Structure 1
């Protein structure tokens, strides 16, 4: 077993703004949404390309081409899954105009939350680097990026040749860091691969050599996070709620406690009853006609 060292505390939570984008979607209403876990049984959110593009442009990213997004510093970019390239590609460079230092390539049905968290962590690496740092993306022992899986109870297996792999308790996923070698890099093979092959999610995430272990750790952490994710019930019909390793719950009022303030405000507006027309004021009773005095009474 690989002991999970207590000296690495990499943590950049999933951005609240991206979570808000998901919760505000039409399919996230209680009548259409369910929460599903573990996360390796889940696929992408509907319209993930638009959501990621909106999320990044709101953070100041530029869109030089319809299929690309680039951080203003020019050291981090994303290629959208378009045309002959049906995959997401995240790349990092040590400085503007330099050769790409590392890449993450994933298929479009990867859980979108994992992609957003990984990009955010790469941004944090750049923001935390000293201004004169020539190589902000520090290359290290990539296998350290799988430590969050060990902490989450995934079973590890160290192979005699030096590669290491992890599997979740219920199976249907695998994470492997291969033996580093120059020949492998020249052949363009990934240094680390995280795969899911569940009934509703079938994807690979491939990390090239040179990927900072901190970036892989952000991906691993979000993948192993025990908090379920919000999804459309129509998109997970193949999942059996009776599977002993799958948890599927309908979104109820109790779940609103975990929603962000912005999502709660949007939900309260959408669920607000239409004000009924004010009832007409009651008609006051007519004053009784004065009685006519009797002739005898006047005498």
Structure 2
């Protein structure tokens, strides 16, 4: 086994690394993952055992964080959308809490943009190829199967996106993304049928971005270190992984409309 390329660095040293899908989750605080206007009718609802909901003013869109620190995936972030307030889900996206937080941020930012024209949450006209076009431009491989799936793998083979383009009779997700080997991923995300392709495109664009991610050495997973490229090092940054950090002024409950 090759030596750890980060051994010579202080654990508190901040580095900028690529590829993104192997960088580890980063600072999983709500400020970073949820760019919602909580001072403008969006509602934040802490619940039991560290769970936290973010709910739109119309109560048709919500996101949920459930921490499970003793599990391999450390918990789950989930986006859910209904056609009527608190109704049956039209579609949903669960992410492992080990998903890089920058990817979560970019999906939620796109979600907020879609929410500005709420019909786009249910009737997205984005072509499927936009969900993976950027990955092809970044050197990801492409394999099409006759079972109705196509798979895009990262250049080093430790990350991927799978698209079910033939939906007839399918009960699985329309899109699936992961970091690491598919048989034992470091993180996973599942986009159910009905999920706007715009959100998939935002996720894959963030996934394949060449903008390095900031991490402290101590927060980079040991099992991915040999596959990371260090872009730059920087001074010590604020500590990472504080998933229960709430926005400074959480609105009171009971104001949903």
Question: Among 196, 208, 213, which residue is 2:179 paired with?
Answer: 196
* C-alpha distance in structure 2 between counterparts of 1:238 and 1:82, whole Å: 22
Look up the SS of the partner of 1:124 in the other structure: helix
Q: Does the alignment pair 1:251 with 2:240? A: no
> 1:38 corresponds to which residue?
19
Q: For residue 103 of structure 1, what is the aligned residue in structure 2?
A: 92
SS at match of 1:116: helix
Paired residues of 2:77 and 2:96 also in contact (CA < 8 A): yes
1:152 matched to which residue of 2?
A: 138
Question: Using the alignment, how far apart are the partners of 1:182 and 1:211 within structure 2?
Answer: 16
Whole-angstrom CA distance in 1 between matches of 2:208 and 2:78: 22
Asked which structure has the greater CA Rg, the reply is: 1
- Contact map agreement 2:33 2:108 (CA 8 A) in 1: no
Residue number in structure 2 paired with 1:114: 103
Alignment counterpart, residue 205 of structure 1, candidates 189, 205, 209: 189
Deviates more, 1:80-89 or 1:167-176: 80-89
Partner of 2:76: 87
Aligned to 2:195, the other structure's residue is in SS state coil
Out of 225, 228, 243, the position equivalent to 2:209 is 225
SS in structure 1 at match of 2:75: coil
Given that 2:173 and 2:193 are in contact with CA atoms closer than 8 Å, whether structure 1 keeps it comes out as yes
* 1:101-128 alpha-carbon deviations (Å, 9 max, x no partner): 1111111110001111101111111214
Q: For 2:36, which of 45, 48, 56 is the aligned residue?
A: 56
Give the distance between the partners of 1:54 and 1:126, measured in 2 at CA: 14
Flag the structure with higher helix content. 1
The 1:56/1:32 distance shift into structure 2, 3 A limit, reads farther
Q: Secondary structure at the match of 2:67?
A: coil
Residues 77 and 217 from structure 1, CA distance in 2 versus in 1: closer, same or farther, beyond 3 angstroms? same
Q: Does 1:170 align with 2:156?
A: yes
Structure-1 separation of matches of 2:39 and 2:198: 21
Q: Which deviations, in whole Å up to 9, do the C-alpha atoms of 1:162-181 show, x marking residues without a partner? A: 31110111210111012543
Q: Give CA-to-partner distance per residue, 1:246-270, whole Å, 9 cap, x none.
A: 21244348xxxxxxxxxxxxxxxxx
Q: Which of the two has greater strand per residue?
A: 2
Unaligned runs of 5+ in 1: 1-29, 254-299
Residues 173/73 of structure 1: CA separation in 2 closer, same or farther (3 Å cut): same
Which runs of no fewer than 5 residues in structure 2 stay unpaired?
Answer: 1-10, 236-257
Which runs of structure 1 show a deviation greater than 6 angstroms over 4 or more consecutive aligned residues? none
- Tell me how far apart the structure 2 counterparts of residues 210 and 225 of structure 1 sit (CA, whole Å): 25
SS at match of 2:15: strand
The answer to whether the 8 A contact 2:77-2:97 is kept is yes
Q: Distance in 2 between matches of 1:78 and 1:107?
A: 13
Q: Counterpart of 1:184 in 2: which secondary structure?
A: coil
1:195-221 CA-partner distances (Å, limit 9, x unpaired): 1117xx701111101011111000000
CA distance in 2, matches of 1:101, 1:232: 38
Q: Distance in 1 between matches of 2:20 and 2:87?
A: 35
TM-score (norm: length of structure 1): 0.62
TM norm structure 2: 0.71
SS of 1:156's equivalent in the other structure is: strand
